[in-house]
Every structure is written in C-alpha cells, then in structure tokens.
Structure 1
Amino acid sequence: MAPPLPLVFLLMIHVCVSGVSSADWGVSYSPSHICALKDSSVIMRCTYTYPTGYKIKKVFWTKTLVKHNGEHPDLSEDPEYSQRLQYLGDKQKNCTIRLSHVTLKDSHKYYFKFNTDKDKWIGYPGVTLTVTDLQVESPERVTEGDSVRLTCKSSCTLTDRATFIWYRNSQPLTERRDRNNELLLQSVRREDAGRYSCAVHGHNHISPAVQLNVMYPPRSVSVSISPSGEIVSGDSVTLICSSDSNPPAVTVAGILITRRGDRVTISLY
C-alpha cells in the first residue's frame, strides 16, 4: 500500500501550483454610479486585473449580460454608440472610456469585458449611468413684494460639481452664477416677471423656460375723454378709465360733473 502515497502527494502539489484563484481576476469602476447632464460627455473610469502570464486578446464595453452568438455585444460596434464612444484605456490595466453627447436613453448599466488567450472575464456589477435634464420649479403667480424661490431640478445629483446659470427671457442673469441650484428673488418687482430657465456652466443643455407672473395692484389711474378738444352741449363723449395693474383692473366708477363758471370738470369715482 506504500507506493500510491507519493502519487497522491504529487497530484495535490500540481493542483495547487497550476490552479488560478478568482482573486487574480477583477474589474473596478470609480465611481460606480454616475449622474450626467443631457448632451454632456461622460468618463467612466475603470481598471482591471488578470493572472500573470495571461495575454490580453480583446477589450471592450457592453451594456448587457446576455450573450449573442456566444459573445456579449461590443458597444463600439453598435451604431448608437460607435461614433460617441472612445476607449481611453489600454491592454494592460486601464479600461477607461468616454461617452459623448449622452441622451436620456443612455441611462443604463455598463460592463467592461476582456478576453485573454486562456479565459474571459466580465466586470460585474458594472457602472450605472443616469442621464438627466433640467427643469425649473417655480410658483405660477406671486405678488409684488413677495420673496420667490426658483429651483433648477434634476432627476439625480450631478456627479461633477455644477455651477448653475440662470436666464430671464433668454438673457443670462450674470450676477446669478453659483453652486446653489436655487434662485432667490427678494421683494420681487413687476420687472422680475418673465420666462426663467437654467443651465450648468460649461454645458449646452438649457432647461425649458417657465413663466413667472408677478401680480400688482392698480397704479397710474387716469381718465381720458374722446373726442378731445372743445365739447358743446348735445355732443356725445366717451370717458375712458385706464390703469397699470396685473391682472388688469375691472373699472366700476361713477361720474362726477362739476361746473365753475364756463369750465366743466368730469371725473370718475
């Protein structure tokens, strides 16, 4: 029974020496979740490792874990991505890519995969990309003198620190450029009424405009007579009462006629 023992011992040594641990394989993403603005460029940073002695044959990114014809689809061969995807990595350890002009449809999970001369590896769980647009949240109507807060909202918190820019009637409010996504109008005036939109500095995407309506009471009330000039007994005249207000004032008035000598005064009350 003695001879079989050395054979068993040699077999155990062979398995330990030639076996490859799963710890030798890996893909790391930094960050693993990205929130990007619509129409911007996104960099997905990535590194990968594999056993010593293996040779890299192919590197690519995919957005599905489902294989087609025995392989995961390569994004660089996808017409929706081929012109916008740039591989910034190498065939050693860097697998970073840049995706340009991202759209809302690009919100997805993405995975890096590499093939060696002996095996293949896909980097699960991947990196999650969420693409967002901007929307202005504002009260529909405010009263002159109120404090008003407008918010530039997105569906997720942008990964890159953002400096927000505000526009009124398509003209930039140059004094309103900061890292706060809120625009505060203290003691709002009628001149503040208009269509407001927001953007992020350095990006082309601008939110849809939202109308801010400022209400104020009647001012500059005046009365005019038509026709103007000298009026004689028996003539027909039209009295017009006008004012500046929002919403437009509805005039309910009485007519007061006074006479001093040859002068007749007509007024509304």
Structure 2
Amino acid sequence: KNHEDLRSNEKCGSVGSCTTVNYNSRRICKLEGSSVSIPGFYSDPSNSKLLVWYKVIRNVDEAGASAVLAYDLDHVEHIDIDHTTSTLKIDDLKKNNSGEYILTFKICHRCKLPDSPGVILEVTEVKVTVVPSAEVSEGQKVRLTCTTSCPLTDSTIYVWYFNNQTLDLPKNQNKHIIFNPVSSHHAGYYSCAVATPLRVNSSIKVLTVKPGGRSITILNIMKLIVLLLIPPIGFKLNLMMRRKTEQSGNGTSKQVNLMPETFRLKARNPSAEAESDEQQEDTM
C-alpha cells in the first residue's frame, strides 16, 4: 500500500530533529491465539534509537491520552528490521491486547501523548450466528454465519462442524450455511473455525427445528382421518359384539329346552316301564 496515505504527524526529538512515521494500515483484525506484526516506517534513520512503541490509553473524560510502553505487556517484542523500519510483534493474542499502538519518541511512562493516530489492533473470537433465530419452524429460510467482531481478510477460509462432524461445503459458501427450506434433519449442534494452523474454534450453537407449515397440515389431516374412522369402526365392533352375544344366547336356550322335553317323554310311558319290570321278574 501507499504509505503516504497513512502518514502520521511529524515527531520531533529533544535534539530538535524531526521525523515522519507511517504505517501499513490503521486497523488490524486478528484472531485470539494468533500473532501479529505491526510495522512502522520512519523517515530519518538518525532517530531510530529514539523511537519506541507504546500502547495508547485514550480517556473520553480527559483531554489527550496517556501511554504504556508496549514492551511491558505480555508476549510483546520489538524488532528493528532496518534503519527505517520498526516492527512490534505480539504472540498468543488475547482480548486485552486490543487497542491503539503508536511508534513515537521516547517519553516518560504514562505521560501525555499528542492526539495523533496510531494503529488500531482488534483481537476477535469466532462465533456462530443464526438468522432469524436458533429456534425455527420447518419450511423457513435459515442462515448460519461464522462471524468475528472485526473483518478478516477476504481470503479467509472457514470450516464448519455439524454434530462434531466436518461439513463439506462449496468454496463460495464456507462462511455461511443456508437452508431454504430448513427441515427437521438440519437440527443439531453447529460450530465453525477459521482455517489456520491454530484452528480457532467457535462455541457450539444449537439449531432447533419445530414442525411447521406443511408438516402441521399433514399432521392435522392425519388427525382428521383418524377422527372420521372412529365412528364406523366403533359401529362395526358393536355390531359384531351383538351378533356374538345373540349366537351365544341361542345355543344356551336350546340346551335348556331339551332337558324338559326328555323329562316329559319319560313321564308319558309309566305302563311300559312297569311291564318291563314284570318281565324281568318272570325271567328270574
């Protein structure tokens, strides 16, 4: 990039010599756990020993700003590449590394700084966002996005996981997942990561898909069919039970009616029984 577009105000040392400090970029976005190198370019090599990096502390309630030596922070080192470039490197970035960094002449610790811009470093995490929400109905359009609080480079590649399994997505759809329409088999646990050697993962997002639209209509139709079938089935069962009861009743009455008939037949032939008895006595 053209450093002239990002030129800072002139810095002047105690010896009266002045130099101009430039930066590659005014704003840098980096992931937690990664590293960053912030180069500063100055015009006068004779001032190289007088320039140091500071983290700026700007208070909205007070005029001006104070500064903390960047070297006092964790995982920070100062690298002099040549006589016109000074680079600040920070490893294993944390959220508290976010802030403004400036290359300027040595000043006292926590002294006031002139209101000149430095480089804004923003350290971000990765998370999954769901639009319209993480709880939707079948048939809706759902968009899942692997997001950061600041924009990464356009060439960033994202990796998606569904129920702890890696998803194979087309290259033009690696930052977003779109379901249109969404269905019940899309429900589950989603997470994403930025494809770097560190593989910074997001937390898990749960997508819940409720029955809706067409599914509810089908369910209502099935309920209606069941309700319509209940009366004829009940009538048929009742009819079968009545027929069975009638058949059982008819069989019992025949058995009961036969018994009196037998008794009556025996009562009508007493003389025959007497003759039979007399014949048996004569024989004896």
TM superposition score normalised by structure 2 = 0.57
| Residue type at the aligned position of 1:87 | H
Superposition deviation, residue 28 in structure 1: 0.9
Mapped partners of 1:46, 1:123: distance in 2: 18
Contact 1:133 1:154 in 2 (8 A): yes
Question: Is 1:208 matched with 2:200?
Answer: no
Give unpaired runs (5+ residues) of structure 2. Answer: 1-14, 59-65, 107-112, 213-218, 242-284
2:53 to 42, 57, 61: 61
Q: Mark the CA change 1:97 to 1:180 in structure 2 (over 3 Å): closer, same or farther.
A: same
Residues 88 and 174 of structure 1: CA distance in aligned 2, closer, same or farther (over 3 Å) = farther
Return the offset for 1:64.
3.2
1:193 CA drift (Å) = 0.6
Q: Which has the higher helix share?
A: 2
Q: 1:176 to 1:101 in 2, by over 3 A?
A: farther
2:155 aligned with 1:161? yes
Cα pair 1:132 1:156 within 8 Å, conserved: yes
TM-score (norm 1): 0.59
Of 108, 123, 127 in structure 2, the residue corresponding to residue 135 of structure 1 is 127
- Give RMSD over aligned pairs: 3.8
Matched, 1:112 2:107: no
- What secondary structure is seen at the aligned counterpart in 2 of 1:44? strand
Gap change, CA 1:65 and 1:193, over 3 Å in 2: closer
Q: Whose Rg is larger?
A: 2
Q: What percent of counterpart residues are identical?
A: 29
- 1:3-82 equivalent positions in 2, closer than 5 A: 22=18, 25-50=19-44, 54=46, 56-57=48-49, 59-64=51-56, 73-76=68-71, 78=72, 80-81=73-74
- Whether 1:95 and 2:86 are equivalent positions in the alignment is yes
Supply the distance in 2 between the matched residues of 1:43 and 1:261 (Cα, whole angstroms): 89
- Structure 1 distance, partners of 2:84, 2:116, is 16
The CA distance in 2 between the partners of 1:127 and 1:151, in whole Å, is 28
Residue type at the aligned position of 2:202: S
Q: 1:9-49 CA deviation, whole Å, 9 max, x = no partner?
A: xxxxxxxxxx9674xx0111111111222222122122112
Q: Are 2:79 and 1:85 equivalent residues in the alignment?
A: no
- With over 3 angstroms needed to count, the CA separation of the structure-2 counterparts of 1:160 and 1:111, relative to structure 1, is farther
The one-letter code sitting in structure 1 at the alignment partner of 2:84 is K
Residue identity in the other structure for 1:106: N
SS at match of 2:86: coil
**2:181 paired with 1:190:** no
Separation in 1, partners of 2:136, 2:57: 52
Amino acid at match of 1:103: K
Q: 2:144·2:176 contact (CA, 8 Å) conserved in 1?
A: yes
Give the corresponding residue for 1:152. Answer: 146
Contact between 1:195 and 1:212, CA under 8 Å: does it hold in 2? yes
Decide which structure has greater strand share.
1
Partners in 1 of 2:81 and 2:164 — Cα distance? Answer: 44
Q: Does 1:181 align with 2:175?
A: yes
- TM-superposed deviation, 1:90: 3.3
Alpha carbons of structure 1 residues 122 and 111: separation in structure 2 relative to 1, 3 Å? farther
Q: How does 1:214-225 map to 2 (within 5 A)?
A: 214-216=209-211
- Equivalent residues, number: 197
* Aligned partner letter, 2:91: S
Equivalent residues of 1:39, 1:204 under 8 A apart: no
- Rate the CA distance shift 1:201–1:73 in 2: closer, same or farther, 3 A: same
Q: What is the CA–CA distance in structure 2 between the aligned matches of 1:215 and 1:43, rounded to whole Å?
A: 48
Q: Is the 2:159–2:174 contact (alpha carbons within 8 Å) kept by the matching residues of 1?
A: no
- Please list every run of 5 or more consecutive structure 1 residues that lacks an aligned counterpart in the other structure: 1-18, 116-120, 218-244, 263-269
